[in-house]
Amino acid sequence: MHLNYLALAVPFFLTFIGLEYLVSRRRGKRYFKFNDSITNISIGIAERLLDTFTVGLFYFVYDYLYQHYAIFDIKSSVLLWVTLLFCTDFVWYWYHRLAHEVTIFWCAHVVHHQSDEFNYTVSARITVFQAFIRTGFWAVLPVIGFPPAMITSMLLVHGLYPFFIHTRTIGKLGILEYILVTPSHHRVHHASNPKYLDKNYGDVFIIWDKLFGTFQQEEEEPVYGLTKPLESNSFLWQHFHFILEMLYSARAAKGWRNRLRVIFGKPDNVDPAARGILEEKFLLRDRSITETPKLNSYVVWQIATTLTLLFSFLLLEHYVPVFIQVCVTLLILLTLINCGAIMEQKKWVFYLEHARFLVLSLALYYCWPQPALPFVAALILTTAIYFETRLKERYFRLVYGYTRT
């Protein structure tokens, strides 16, 4: 069988997340919060899912640039693999630094910094938008002359290391603190303390920060998250809030120069009042909501099922027809939106169940094209719409433990 063994990354990361949780509990530390961890994992699921469709595109870009614009003809050797590692990390440093210093890039990267906690689940907060921007930076590597196969292999290794530095369970690491980016260094990077802002951009080596003046040692206890906390579990809002804030600020700016300054200048140029205005318009947050055991159990069940589906899909992707790939993608994304909306206790989550039912029906009909299936699906959906009020009441009692008004 032609299996995609990269799917094993899913249980691999989950195992270490579980171990970190157990270690933190054993030490009497609360490094995990339910809503925070669920939203982190949800964003990671979406990124890993969408990567399935973009990795081939990125490889094509590297291959095209290598074939047409490579300056040197680099052959694989131990020395050149080490050189590629340093080049990759150097490019990452500048991508990462500019992702903090340029608004349009911060729109994609801000998602990684929204968590008010710091643990292995935070490493999952990567969006597909970031992947596209990083590819633009890493496109310099095939132009230098590194073969695409070397680049993609190195990116896999380079992408694995940062997972292990997103933790509070590991202290300082002695002499390694002078060479590598350690958990201590990265805790500083994720902190919102004034002295820690915009520091420690390195991914593997800390030498770039020391060379370019962005290094800061961990001293006082970090406070994690954004300087203005997002305070939302919405899957969609976490992805798009800063894009909307940027567009709102650009539209309100006078003259094209000021508008371009908002988009391509520092994130500080975005109107700080924009978020509050946009939250009132789009988010409609109910600050009186409280967690219930039923809500948490339902969300955990959905995330566990989604992770199982994601692992199976990634492992067997070479055998999955394109139509079913689309259906699985829609189903997973709808479920992630659903989980975020449930934690916000939105009433419209009920209608997402209709959408998920439709996707499941289409996938089932593709795999088992029986003439009666569309009729049965239409009958079930029509019945659900007819008894909508009663079904909604039962649904909210099941999910929230009480009826939403």
pLDDT, one tens digit per residue, over 316-338 is: 988 999 999 999 999 999 999 99
HSE-up of residue 271 (Cα within 13 Å, Cβ side)? 19
Residue 285 has pLDDT above 60, yes or no: no
For residues 353 and 176, what is the distance between their CA atoms, to the nearest angstrom? 50
Neighbouring C-beta atoms of residue 313, cutoff 10 Å: 21
For residues 66 and 58, what is the distance between their CA atoms, to the nearest angstrom? 12
Sign of CA dihedral 200, 205, 207, 211: negative
Short-list 105, 100, 47, CA closest to 246 = 105
Q: Could you tell me which residues are beta bridge partners of residue 29? A: none
Residue 284 has pLDDT above 70, yes or no: no
pTM of the model: 0.90
Residue 203 has pLDDT above 90, yes or no: yes
Q: Please give the pLDDT value at position 99.
A: 95
Q: Please give the pLDDT value at position 288.
A: 56
Q: Please give the pLDDT value at position 294.
A: 73
How sure is the predictor about 347, in pLDDT bands with cuts at 50, 70 and 90? Answer: confident
How sure is the predictor about 404, in pLDDT bands with cuts at 50, 70 and 90? Answer: low
Look up residue 222 and give its DSSP letter.
Answer: P
* The residue type at 43: I
Q: Which residues are within 8 A (CB) of 372 and not within 5 positions of it... i.e. 6 or more apart?
A: none
Short-list 294, 390, 286, 300, CA closest to 345 = 286
HSE-up of residue 377 (Cα within 13 Å, Cβ side)? 18
Mark 77-116 as b/e (b = at least 16 C-beta within 10 Å): eeebeeebeebbbbbbbebbbbbbebbbbbbbbbbbbbbb
How sure is the predictor about 403, in pLDDT bands with cuts at 50, 70 and 90? Answer: low
CA distances from 71 to 68, 146, 243, 318, 363 (A): 9, 9, 37, 35, 48
The token pair that represents 146 in the structure block: 């590194």
Task: Compute the average pLDDT of residues 366-383.
Answer: 88
Residue 186 has pLDDT above 70, yes or no: yes
Q: Could you tell me which residues are beta bridge partners of residue 180? A: 205
**77-81, 193-197, 339-343: which is most confident:** 193-197
For residues 335 and 106, what is the distance between their CA atoms, to the nearest angstrom? 26
How sure is the predictor about 193, in pLDDT bands with cuts at 50, 70 and 90? Answer: very high
Q: Is 180 helix (H, G, I), strand (E, B) or coil?
A: strand
Q: Which residues are within 8 A (CB) of 258 and not within 5 positions of it... i.e. 6 or more apart?
A: none
- Beta carbons of 189 and 215 less than 8 angstroms apart: no
Tell me how far apart the terminal alpha carbons of the chain are, to the nearest angstrom: 52
Task: Compute the average pLDDT of residues 116-129.
Answer: 92
Would you state the torsion angle of the CA atoms of residues 177, 182, 188, 190, taken in this order, to the nearest 10 degrees?
A: 170
